[in-house]
Amino acid sequence: YYQFIIPIKNMDTPMSESNQPHSSPYPHMLAPLDLGFTTLKNRVLMGSMHVGLEEEKGGFAKLAAFYAARAKGGVGLIVTGGISPNIAGWVAPFAGRMSSSRHAKKHQVITDAVHAEAGKICMQILHSGRYGYHPLNVSASAVKSPITPFKPKSLSTRGVYKTINDYAQCAVYAQSAGYDGVEIMGSEGYLINQFFCERTNFRDDEFGGSLENRARLAIETVKQTRAEVGPNFIIIYRLSMLDLVEGGAPWDEVVYLAKAIEAAGATLINTGIGWHESRVPTIATSVPRAAFTWITQRMKSEVTIPLITTNRINTPEVAEQVLADGHADMVSMARPFLADPDFVAKAMRNQSDQINTCIACNQACLDHAFEQKRASCLVNPQACYETELIFKTVGQAKKLAVIGAGPAGLAFATYAAKRGHDVHLYEQSSAIGGQFNYAKQVPGKEEFYETLRYYARMIEVLGVQLHLNTRVDAKALAGQGFAEVIMATGIKPRDLTIPGHDHTKVMSYIDVLRDHKPVGQKVAVIGAGGIGFDVSEYLVEHENLTTNLDKWLTHWGIDKNYTTPGSLTEKHITPTTREVYLLQRKTSKVGKGLGKTTGWIHRTSLAHHQVKMMSGVSYEKIDDAGLHIMVGDEYQILDVDHVIVCAGQEPLRELETQLQALSIPLHIIGGAYEAGELDAKRAIRQGAELAAKI
Ligand code: NAP
Ligand code: SF4
Q: Which atom of ligand 1 is nearest to the CA of 676?
A: 3
Ligand 2, from 371, 377, 447: best to mutate by most atoms within 8 Å of Cβ? 377
The mean per-residue pLDDT over the stretch 349-365 comes to 96
Q: Which residues pair with 240 in a beta bridge?
A: 272
Distance (Å) from CA 402 to ligand 1 centroid: 27
Distance (Å) from CA 334 to ligand 2 centroid: 10
The tens digit of pLDDT for each residue in 614-640 reads 999 999 999 999 999 999 999 999 999
Ligand 1, from 531, 589, 597, 686: best to mutate by most atoms within 8 Å of Cβ? 531
Distance (Å) from CA 276 to ligand 2 centroid: 18
- Protein residue closest via CA to atom 34 of ligand 1: 679
Residue 330 has pLDDT above 50, yes or no: yes
Q: What pLDDT is attached to residue 2?
A: 34
Confidence class of residue 524 from pLDDT cuts 50, 70 and 90?
very high
The mean per-residue pLDDT over the stretch 28-38 comes to 98
Is omega for the bond preceding 231 within 30 degrees of 0, making it cis? no
Three-state DSSP state, 433: coil
Ligand 2, from 340, 365, 373, 448: best to mutate by most atoms within 8 Å of Cβ? 365
Q: What pLDDT is attached to residue 429?
A: 95
Q: Which atom of ligand 1 is nearest to the CA of 497?
A: 18
- Protein residue closest via CA to atom 22 of ligand 1: 647
Residue 6 has pLDDT above 50, yes or no: no
Asked whether the beta carbons of 273 and 293 are under 8 A apart, the reply is no
Identify the nearest ligand to the CA of 312 by its number. Answer: 2
* 585 Cβ below 6 A of ligand 1: yes
Residue 119 has pLDDT above 50, yes or no: yes
Q: What pLDDT is attached to residue 537?
A: 93
Of 333-337, 411-415, 545-549, 619-623, least confident by mean pLDDT is: 545-549
Confidence class of residue 542 from pLDDT cuts 50, 70 and 90?
confident
Q: What pLDDT is attached to residue 15?
A: 36
- Protein residue closest via CA to atom 1 of ligand 2: 358
Confidence class of residue 304 from pLDDT cuts 50, 70 and 90?
very high
Q: What pLDDT is attached to residue 479?
A: 87
Pocket of ligand 2 (CB under 6 A): 335, 338-339, 358-365, 377-379
Identify the nearest ligand to the CA of 377 by its number. Answer: 2
Q: In this structure, are strands 649-651 and 491-493 parallel, antiparallel, or unpaired?
A: antiparallel
The tens digit of pLDDT for each residue in 581-609 reads 999 999 999 999 998 899 999 999 999 99
Q: What pLDDT is attached to residue 16?
A: 37
Distance (Å) from CA 646 to ligand 1 centroid: 7
315 contact partners, CB below 8 Å, separation of at least 6: 5, 289, 336, 352, 355, 357, 450
* 678 Cβ below 6 A of ligand 1: yes
Q: Identify the active-site residue in 2, 67, 190, 438.
A: 190
Identify the nearest ligand to the CA of 648 by its number. Answer: 1
Q: What pLDDT is attached to residue 504?
A: 97
* 534 Cβ below 6 A of ligand 1: yes
The mean per-residue pLDDT over the stretch 471-486 comes to 92
Asked whether the beta carbons of 63 and 51 are under 8 A apart, the reply is yes
Q: What pLDDT is attached to residue 676?
A: 74
Please calculate the CA angle 278-56-373 and round it to the nearest 5 degrees: 40
Q: What pLDDT is attached to residue 21?
A: 42
Of 11-20, 133-142, 670-679, least confident by mean pLDDT is: 11-20
- Protein residue closest via CA to atom 4 of ligand 1: 529
> pTM for the full model?
0.93
| Percent of the chain topping pLDDT 90 | 88
The tens digit of pLDDT for each residue in 252-300 reads 999 999 999 999 999 999 999 999 999 999 999 999 999 999 999 999 9
Q: What pLDDT is attached to residue 574?
A: 87
* 648 Cβ below 6 A of ligand 1: yes
Ligand 2, from 337, 338, 356: best to mutate by most atoms within 8 Å of Cβ? 338
Residue 19 has pLDDT above 70, yes or no: no
131 contact partners, CB below 8 Å, separation of at least 6: 91, 137, 145, 147, 148, 189, 190, 276
The mean per-residue pLDDT over the stretch 541-554 comes to 90
Q: How far apart are CA 63 and CA 73, in angstroms?
A: 15
Q: Which helix (H) or strand (E) holds 536?
A: helix 530-540
- Protein residue closest via CA to atom 5 of ligand 1: 648
| CB neighbour burial string for 513-552, b if at least 16 within 10 angstroms, e if fewer | beeeeebeeebbbbbbbbbbbbbbbbbbbeeebbeebeeb
* 537 Cβ below 6 A of ligand 1: no
Query: What is the chain's mean pLDDT, rounded?
Result: 94
Q: What pLDDT is attached to residue 252?
A: 97
Residue 672 has pLDDT above 50, yes or no: yes
Of 112-116, 167-171, 594-598, 642-646, least confident by mean pLDDT is: 594-598
Identify the nearest ligand to the CA of 586 by its number. Answer: 1
Q: What pLDDT is attached to residue 4?
A: 35
Residue 685 has pLDDT above 80, yes or no: yes
Residue 470 has pLDDT above 60, yes or no: yes
Strands (E) across 55-145 are located at 77-83, 121-125, 138-139
Identify the nearest ligand to the CA of 338 by its number. Answer: 2
Q: What pLDDT is attached to residue 564?
A: 92
Neighbouring C-beta atoms of residue 121, cutoff 10 Å: 27
* 153 Cβ below 6 A of ligand 1: no
Distance (Å) from CA 573 to ligand 1 centroid: 28
Residue 53 has pLDDT above 90, yes or no: yes
Q: What pLDDT is attached to residue 678?
A: 67
**2 included as an active-site residue:** no
* 285 Cβ below 6 A of ligand 1: no
